[in-house]
Amino acid sequence: MKKEIILRNGQQVTIRELALSDLPVIKELQERVIASLEVTSFLQPLSDEEFRYILNGNGSMIGAMHDDRLVAFRAMLEPEIDEHHLGRDAGLPESELPFALYSEVTNVDPDYRGNSLQQILGELLIKQVDRDRHRYVFATVAPFNIASLKDKFALHMHIIKLEKKYGNLLRYTLMKKLCEDSKTGSLTVKVDMSDVMKQQYLLNDGWIGIGLEKDELSWKVKFRKKNN
């Protein structure tokens, strides 16, 4: 895949598949992004081993190049099936777990933020997924990581769980069915993002998180009741 895109700032970038030979510049960009973060717990960086696992055919990774400089990358991973598989958060049967992909790390160079590169790369990755091999996409996002949550909702993912993962870090689990849209009812409710217990109650009671709203006081998560 190779695609030319004009950014909001007028610069042209080339989107292409990344390979194992790109690992040094991938790591360099990840380190640059981590150094720029105000809240480092928002990003769960990938190790060399995890990057190699994806680049060796267990998923896909695309990057945006500007003047031969890697300015953004995004990855999707074919996860191992273990007790931590995110499909279990959705109640998928064991037979469905091999059909899942993870929307993994996205890194955008601080100098190129504000150009929707995260969403552009996400939409391109979703489009190229082999629907015969994969039926679901999952992701985890930290509460109050607003940019990442907006990105996942823009890709039509929805929140299915809120619990501690990766040791002791609170995370939303989000899911997207690739072959059909989730059928939901018309009943909606908004909950303050800081109210963890109420969100967990709704998620356990058959609601899903479908969007964000901000009032003068706080960020709200919009939930919709699933049809039975």
Convert the pLDDT of each residue in 33-73 to its tens digit: 999 987 766 777 889 999 999 999 999 999 999 999 999 99
pLDDT computed for residue 179 by the predictor: 83
Instruction: Write out residues in the chain with pLDDT < 50, as ranges.
Output: none
Would you state the pLDDT for residue 44?
75
CATH of 2-181, one of 3.30.200.20, 3.40.630.30, 3.30.70.660, 3.10.105.10: 3.40.630.30
Helix axes 23-36, 48-55, angle to 10 degrees: 130
How confident is the model at residue 216, as a pLDDT?
Answer: 87
Contacts of residue 134, Cβ cutoff 8 Å, sequence gap at least 6: 99, 100, 101, 178
| pLDDT confidence of residue 38 | 79
Q: Domain map of the chain by residue range?
A: 2-181, 183-228
**pTM summary value:** 0.90
C-alpha–C-alpha distance, residues 227 and 151, integer Å? 25
User: What pLDDT score does 181 carry?
Assistant: 60
Check residue 97 and give its pLDDT.
97
Whose structure tokens read 């002791």? 168
Residue 26 has a pLDDT of 97
Contact 155, 120 (CB under 8 A): no
Q: How confident is the model at residue 127, as a pLDDT?
A: 92
What are phi and psi for residue 82, nearest 5 degrees?
-140, -170
> Would you put residue 122 in left (φ > 0), alpha (ψ -120 to 50) or beta?
alpha
Q: How far apart are CA 126 and CA 63, in angstroms?
A: 14
Q: Given this model, what pLDDT does residue 29 score? A: 97
